[in-house]
Chains A and B, each alone.
Chain A
């Protein structure tokens, strides 16, 4: 984020204009996503009739609550210009760990924090490698991914059921108002979005995150604690993945070593569709929320149209392409 007051070259007005333009550009991506969301809802309503119902919107949030939490963590990482491939595997590890401990009779009040902590630990390992040893995020989180998936199999080779009140509560409890319904899992996910929004836009830490994504070298020269912030960003992503694992385990009522396979890609796709640029420094967590909703809506639409499920992959691939090219065009204009 370029602040107008730090100008060294060019006039103040020119810097201000460019700052406004770069801000419009990053908002434009988010607006495009929101527009996409509205358009899809409108087309759905026109094509199927009775599409936009409280039930559909509620289930959209309910079925994607874990993906929302993942996307929040991923947004932090991508904003710094990094990437976290480990989150999908962490879902399997965290869920299976919880299921195994509960099966051994541990109380859920101990197990739930441990499930979240398992994600934090994987995030910490990735974070140490990226922040202190300057290993590329892609490779470091690849190690985290292998580690978490392997550890999941160490915990159990097959899927374990979860029948615990404490974990079930997250999804089984439904607060209903009319046809709207919401579960604690969804509330938790939205709470994460709200917290992330506050942290990213109203704290010093959040500004440092954007600064690192803009240019890590400059951020370091400005005296920002790049190493510490980078480490914490992966810690946040890991913790989010742990929470997502908890919600996912509660959602499926089991811990499964194959859970979350490829879900890191869903999260990255949602963040990119939400207008965050993969090189970092530009994007909004609310955009990521919209990205997840677009993603969920594609799946619902494909189910409604009762066409084969593999079209989901093709549509998402095409959508990714459109958004990336769109961002590229915006970026090109900004630089001109």
Chain B
């Protein structure tokens, strides 16, 4: 029991279960799943489907944060990928053909990969602080997206493109497959190879890991590239969902939601430790929270208040000061009064 309470993911999972319980209590049909035309429908399925965008961005953000960095540009990158893809499809002669859509997606992802590499270059080679290096693209990226769409909201009709966000495959939403695939691939890459450990070592001390023979520059460069690429994927999901490229509003504040999801999942902003399962749960908590607010009949605009409460509670639970206060009350004596920050954060 004690070990269960101590587990890193205990409180996030409790929060998720509480949210689902709250929803079920206020509207018992919340848990029900209906089968229509061989496809599953229901609130839970919707949550899983809608969380795909944030999932992609958050997984990329998690890798960046693990190296003690941050990527503020994901929202702008998301907008750029939507703009590039939709402008290509809108300009082609056959917007409905699979080839056009595939080329457009490859183009959109390619551009975002370049943007990610640019961020990585600024951070790892030029040595600019991550927050300011990505701030550059956060500003410029949205300008570039507007430049591509010429300030218009580009809209298209293309059946294969609609399928990405709204289609079903074997009864489940196609978007869900994308997010599961991304999570699986990233998990395999970082947990079945040494890559994850190397990323964490760079996050703990880039200089020391370089001296120990870790090519930290390449790793840092890589995580920003992956973050850019995943944000690009999220941009394609977003634009496919509304079938429009909105350079102003696409991915607005998604960088904050992604950072929030990562932090809720127990990954410390200090770098050096990350949890994929935690991030997945963090994303689901945020998505369920958004749905809950809609179900309870509260104006969606008020959502930020609840997010603020979640941030404050989660951060306080992770805070060293609060943990010390709780420990003192329990009168558990510890051999060393000052623990290393990493050790505290990782619990």
Binding site for B on A (CB under 8 A): 83, 85, 89, 125, 129, 132-136, 138-140, 142-147, 149-151, 153-154, 157, 257, 265, 268-269, 272, 278-279, 308-314, 316-318, 320-321, 324-325, 328
Given contacts A134-B319, A310-B147, contact A278 B129 (CB under 8 A): yes
- For B122, the chain A residues whose CB sits under 8 A away are 321
Q: SS class of chain A's interface: helix, strand, loop or mixed?
A: helix
Residue of chain A at shortest CB distance from B133: A324
Q: Which of B22-30, B219-227, B256-264 contacts A (4 or more CB under 8 A)?
A: B256-264
CA distance A328 to B136 in the complex (A): 15
- For A140, the chain B residues whose CB sits under 8 A away are 315
Residue total for B at the interface (Cβ-Cβ under 8 A): 48
Q: Is the CB of A320 within 8 A of B146?
A: no
CA distance A136 to B270 in the complex (A): 9
The contact of A314 among B140, B269, B318, by CB within 8 Å, is: B140
Given contacts A133-B316, A310-B151, A314-B144, contact A142 B299 (CB under 8 A): no
Q: Is the CB of A324 within 8 A of B128?
A: yes
User: B44 interface residue, CB < 8 Å from A?
Assistant: no
The contact of B70 among A138, A310, A324, by CB within 8 Å, is: A138
CA distance A269 to B140 in the complex (A): 12
Q: Is the CB of B143 within 8 A of A314?
A: yes
Residue of chain A at shortest CB distance from B70: A138
Q: Which 4 residue pairs spanning A and B have beta carbons closest together? A: A317-B140, A313-B143, A150-B305, A150-B304
CA distance A320 to B136 in the complex (A): 6
The contact of B139 among A139, A269, A328, by CB within 8 Å, is: A269
Shortest Cβ distance from residue B195 to the other chain A in the assembled complex, whole angstroms = 26
- For A311, the chain B residues whose CB sits under 8 A away are 143, 147
CA distance A279 to B306 in the complex (A): 31
Q: Is the CB of B321 within 8 A of A313?
A: no
User: B142 interface residue, CB < 8 Å from A?
Assistant: yes
- For A150, the chain B residues whose CB sits under 8 A away are 301-308
The contact of B128 among A125, A265, A312, A325, by CB within 8 Å, is: A325
CA distance A265 to B252 in the complex (A): 13
CA distance A316 to B256 in the complex (A): 21
Taking each of B128, B143, B302, B316, which has the highest tally of chain A beta carbons within 10 Å of its own beta carbon?
Answer: B143
- For B129, the chain A residues whose CB sits under 8 A away are 278-279
- For A321, the chain B residues whose CB sits under 8 A away are 122, 136
The contact of B302 among A142, A154, A318, by CB within 8 Å, is: A154
The contact of A317 among B131, B143, B247, B304, by CB within 8 Å, is: B143
Given contacts A143-B311, A320-B139, contact A272 B132 (CB under 8 A): yes
- For A149, the chain B residues whose CB sits under 8 A away are 304
- For A154, the chain B residues whose CB sits under 8 A away are 302, 305
Q: Is the CB of B143 within 8 A of A144?
A: no
